[in-house]
Amino acid sequence: MAHWKHELKIKDLFLSLEGDQDENAKKVAPEVSARVAALSKRLTNKDPMLSSDLEEIADSFSVVHEDDEPSEMFNGVLSDLYDLGDRNRIWIG
């Protein structure tokens, strides 16, 4: 069983989503970005490399609304976030 070092709560943002995936991606991406950025900020002194990686992901979420296919971009960035979380023991739920 994994022992998580950090926690990022985003699941609540997805619980009531229905309908158009592109619109849903545009709707939740800013808040996901804010939460990832907040975790990045908390880790600035403790783990600068991880903080930087998280900041890049937060930046990517922040421009989802500009993409021609927002849901595809959102899912790609979310996948990157989960990969980073797995490598760095961040529980994302």
pTM over 0.85: yes
At residue 59, the pLDDT reads 98
- Rounded Cα gap, residues 49 and 65, in angstroms: 27
| Higher pLDDT pick, 78 / 1 | 78
At residue 2, the pLDDT reads 67
Would you tell me how many other CB atoms lie within 10 Å of the CB of residue 2? 7
pLDDT above 70 (res 1): no
How far CA 33 is from CA of 1, 2, 16, 47, in Å, comes to 28, 25, 19, 19
Domain extent listing, the chain: 6-11+21-92
pLDDT per position as a tens digit, 23-81: 999 999 999 999 999 999 999 999 999 999 999 999 999 999 999 999 999 999 999 99
